[in-house]
Amino acid sequence: MIHGVFQRSALLAAVFVASTAGAQTPSPLHTQVSPIVSGMYPSLEALYKDLHANPEIAFQEVRTAGKMAEEMRKLGFEVTEKVGGTGVVAIYKNGAGPTVLVRTELDALPMEEKTGLPYASKAKTLSNGRESFVAHSCGHDIHMASWVGTARTLLAMKDQWKGTLMFVAQPAEETVSGAKAMIADGLFKRFPKPDYAFALHTSPSPYGFVGYKVGAISSNSDSIEITFKGRGGHGSAPDKTIDPIAIAARFVTDVQTVVSREKDPAEFGVVTIGAIQGGTVGNIIPDTVVLRGTVRSYSPQVREKLLAGIRRTANAAAMMGGAPEPAVELVPGGAAVVNDEVVVKRTVTALKAAFGDPKVVAVPPISASEDFSEFVNAGVPSMFFFVGVLSPEDVAASMKPGGKPLAFNHSPFFAPVPEPSIKTSVEAMSVAVLTTMAPK
């Protein structure tokens, strides 16, 4: 995913405190699911390690998509490939009942892995015209192994549910474009439109825990690209130029007042400038400077205020510098994922019965974005939830003064612990789907 960084303190504190609570007797449903998952686990871990060692970036996930399609065909799903580029749709009909979508992502990130794991990725590819390493540093490989495991579990228990499973392997989540591409390619016209949808994501929190939230659980994400135009010249004669670097620097500082002075302090909003490109050498003032960044928010009102403020501040900075009007491009990205209250409450009741109340924790929304929102906003009541994947000891140590910081998603050192992370993910997703599809 997930674009941005998880909000660390509240999420980790919640699960760490919960870890000290007593155990709870698992539900009959979980008692049935757990042995099935344990029996297949070795093959799921082997699949995970294969995916981890052979990652592919957005819309290049040919091998990855092929493996997902192969796994689903073995189970008897009707499989369609190349939906929205490299997406896979697998359908399994089991009588009259609801259609439930279960989503996984296929893509990895154009970055180098530095975990030192024996199955670490050494893959390279072309990204934006340059050779780059590729790594599953966000956890999509955990998601895929869990997706396959959930499908196997549900088919092993198909006498206990009715309806249609719609397993979707989505490309290009990291570029916030794969879900949109699948919908544009007729996902909900060529295939049944689901009644409900579920997705999970790895969280840098202790394994064995599930995090949930009613309402917005991720952020809106928008991209900024601004070209400030000046008049180039010699660095010794700035009066003969219009310096776009000075204008850009003023903008970087001033735009933060939109966050600190125009937005309600109680509302979430972040403006980040991540790249500035301009000039070639120290004694030449360039003609142009390009800035790129991102905007995060939860509510539509804050999103609109931030975008309007960015445009106004850019124009004002240029005007103050006597420069031409800048080219301001604000590109909409992923919308916030808003979980359905009814779906969440029903599912959380089942998850708490399965894992015990202390292991299923309400968490704050994250400041990252996720294009699972495209399925939600198509009118599908949904639940997106988190599964912890790190050692509880490491998490506890990181929370102490001077403790070693955790490697979060998108870190080159991000290294989920496969067992029991995959088991928990499969069990949680299987319980969620079974609860939705069990005959009333």
pLDDT band at residue 368 using 50, 70 and 90 as cut-offs: confident
Split at pLDDT 50, 70, 90, the class of 1 is low
What percent of the chain clears pLDDT 70, i.e. is strictly above it?
94
- Predicted local confidence at residue 128, as pLDDT: 82
Residue-wise pLDDT for 227-271, tens only, equals 999 999 999 999 999 999 999 999 999 999 999 999 999 999 999
| Confidence at residue 26, expressed as pLDDT on a 0 to 100 scale | 73
Q: What backbone phi and psi angles, to 5 degrees, belong to 293?
A: -165, -170
pLDDT at 199: 98
pLDDT at 438 over 90: no
> Picking from 4-18, 84-98, 139-153, 419-433, which range would have the lowest pLDDT averaged per residue?
4-18
Q: How far is CA 439 from CA 160, 347, 436, in A?
A: 8, 15, 9
- pLDDT over 70 (residue 2): no
- Record the tokens describing residue 56, joined without a space: 């592919």
Question: CA 391, CA 16: separation in Å to the nearest integer?
Answer: 11
Task: Encode pLDDT of 289-341 as tens digits.
Answer: 999 999 999 999 999 999 999 999 999 999 999 999 999 999 988 899 999 99
Strand partners, 166: 91, 101
B/e letters for 170-205, b = 16+ CB within 10 Å, e = fewer, are bbbbbbbbbbbbbbeeebbeebeebbbbbbbbbbbb
For each of the domains in the chain, give its residue range(s) and CATH number, in order of start: 8-218+336-437 (3.40.630.10), 220-332 (3.30.70.360)
H-type helices in 242-299, by residue range?
Answer: 244-254, 256-257
- At 358, the pLDDT band (50, 70, 90 cuts) reads very high
**Polymer length in residues for the chain:** 440
Averaged pLDDT for residues 407-427: 97
Give yes or no for residue 440 having a pLDDT over 90.
Answer: no
Q: Is the pLDDT of residue 23 over 60?
A: no
pLDDT at 4 over 60: no
Q: Give the closest residue to 307 by CA, choosing from 324, 291, 294, 323.
A: 294
Q: What is the pLDDT of residue 28?
A: 87
Give the model confidence (pLDDT) of 105-118 as tens digits. 999 999 999 999 99
404 alpha carbon, distance to own chain's centre:
24
- Residues paired with residue 325 on neighbouring β-strands, in sequence order: none
Count of helix runs (H) and strand runs (E) in the chain: 13, 18
* Residue range 155-189, pLDDT digits in tens: 999 999 999 999 999 999 999 999 999 999 999 99
Q: What's the confidence (pLDDT) of residue 333?
A: 84
Q: Tally Cβ neighbours within 10 Å of residue 209.
A: 29
On average, the pLDDT of the chain sits at 93
User: Quick one: which of 413, 412, 411, 416 has its CA closest to 386?
Assistant: 416
pLDDT reported for residue 27: 86
pLDDT of residue 107: 98
Q: Give the pLDDT of residue 5.
A: 35
The residue ranges of DSSP E strands in 305-390, in sequence order, are 327-332, 338-339, 360-362, 382-390
